[in-house]
């Protein structure tokens, strides 16, 4: 069986709609979560796939969260071998940082469902499945495009939304994996303080999740299915 190691920074921010696709491709999934004594005690070269999920901290907060340095070291070692890696939100920022790019506060909170602008390069890749589809944004940081990577998508508020290196590395600033069904309530409660501080209308956000959830789920399946297919064909 192929193996997928998943680095999780919040219990409720999991694989979501990516989980069934991984199952179809025959991956045995192992979560490693912040707070576990062995969170980062693994060989980063060993898994067939590494997925790095989101979280409400910055990649540059190493003094406050010392594990971030180790996490970036693990990523750096894996990326040097061009091994299949997927980063989502904080995960994409950690990947960008591991590749030598600057990650920093954007000065705004982009939270909510909105459409992306897919770049010409993105139109030739799995991200084309997101054309016209509202995705979930939930971040306050951004990154400089890593050297040697391709810019895939932007939004009116934040230019850097997705990048790729070859067929093996995909970084998504937004949350394509979120299950916007009843489980979305965990996000609303878990991030209640951030939502209040950013003056986000939680009722409207919940309504948008219900409105766009099924469409987003279908698009995420198509994107992940195609990307994992390209990874498998390597």
Q: Considering the chain, what percentage of its residues have pLDDT values greater than 70?
A: 100
End-to-end CA distance of the chain: 16
Q: Considering the chain, what percentage of its residues have pLDDT values greater than 90?
A: 96
Average pLDDT over residues 126-134: 96
Model pTM greater than 0.75? yes
Per-residue pLDDT of 203-227, as tens digits, reads 999 999 999 999 999 999 999 999 9
Q: φ, ψ for residue 70 (rounded to 5)?
A: -65, -40
Cα separation, 216 vs 129, in Å, equals: 10
pLDDT score for 71:
98
Question: Do 122 and 152 contact (CB within 8 A), yes or no?
Answer: yes
Per-residue pLDDT of 183-204, as tens digits, reads 999 999 999 999 999 999 999 9
Per-residue pLDDT of 45-56, as tens digits, reads 999 999 999 999
Pairing, β 162-165 against β 150-154:
antiparallel
Cβ of 104: how many Cβ atoms within 10 Å?
14
Q: Domains of the chain, with CATH numbers?
A: 2-233 (3.40.50.880)
pLDDT score for 181:
87
Average pLDDT over residues 70-97: 98
Average pLDDT over residues 2-12: 97
Under 8 Å CB-to-CB from 112, ≥6 apart: which residues? 136, 137, 200, 205, 208
pLDDT score for 232:
81
Average pLDDT over residues 30-52: 97
> Rounded mean pLDDT of the chain?
96
CA angle 142, 112, 191 (to 5 degrees): 80
Residue found under tokens 């198509």: 222
pLDDT score for 97:
98
pLDDT score for 114:
96
Average pLDDT over residues 90-98: 98
Question: Do 120 and 105 contact (CB within 8 A), yes or no?
Answer: no
pLDDT band at 76 (very low <50, low <70, confident <90, very high): very high
pLDDT score for 176:
95
pLDDT score for 112:
97
pLDDT score for 182:
87
Print the SS3 string covering 24-44.
HCCEEEEEEECCCCCCCCCCC
pLDDT at 233 over 80: no
Per-residue pLDDT of 141-178, as tens digits, reads 999 999 999 999 999 999 999 999 999 999 999 999 99
Under 8 Å CB-to-CB from 195, ≥6 apart: which residues? 111, 188, 202, 205
pLDDT at 234 over 90: no
């Amino acid at each position: 069986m192929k193996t997928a190691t998943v680095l999780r920074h919040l219990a409720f921010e999991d694989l979501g709609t990516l989980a069934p696709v991984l199952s179809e491709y025959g991956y045995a999934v192992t979560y490693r979560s912040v707070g576990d004594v062995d969170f980062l005690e693994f060989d980063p070269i060993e898994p067939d796939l590494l997925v790095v999920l989101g979280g409400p901290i910055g990649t540059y907060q190493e003094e406050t969260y010392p594990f971030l340095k180790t996490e970036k070291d693990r990523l750096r070692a894996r990326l040097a071998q061009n091994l299949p890696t997927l980063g989502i939100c904080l995960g994409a920022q950690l990947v960008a940082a591991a590749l030598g790019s600057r990650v920093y506060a954007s000065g705004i909170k982009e939270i909510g469902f909105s459409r992306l602008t897919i770049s010409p390069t993105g139109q030739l890749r799995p991200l084309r499945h997101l054309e016209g589809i509202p995705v979930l944004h939930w971040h306050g940081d951004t990154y400089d495009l890593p050297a040697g990577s391709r810019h895939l998508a932007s939004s009116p508020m934040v230019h850097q939304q997705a990048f790729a290196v070859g067929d093996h590395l995909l970084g998504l600033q937004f949350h394509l994996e979120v299950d916007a069904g009843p489980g979305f309530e965990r996000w609303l409660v878990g991030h209640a303080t951030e939502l209040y501080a950013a003056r986000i209308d939680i009722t409207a956000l919940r309504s948008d999740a219900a409105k766009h959830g099924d469409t987003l789920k279908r698009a995420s399946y198509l994107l992940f299915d195609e990307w994992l297919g390209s990874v498998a064909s390597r």
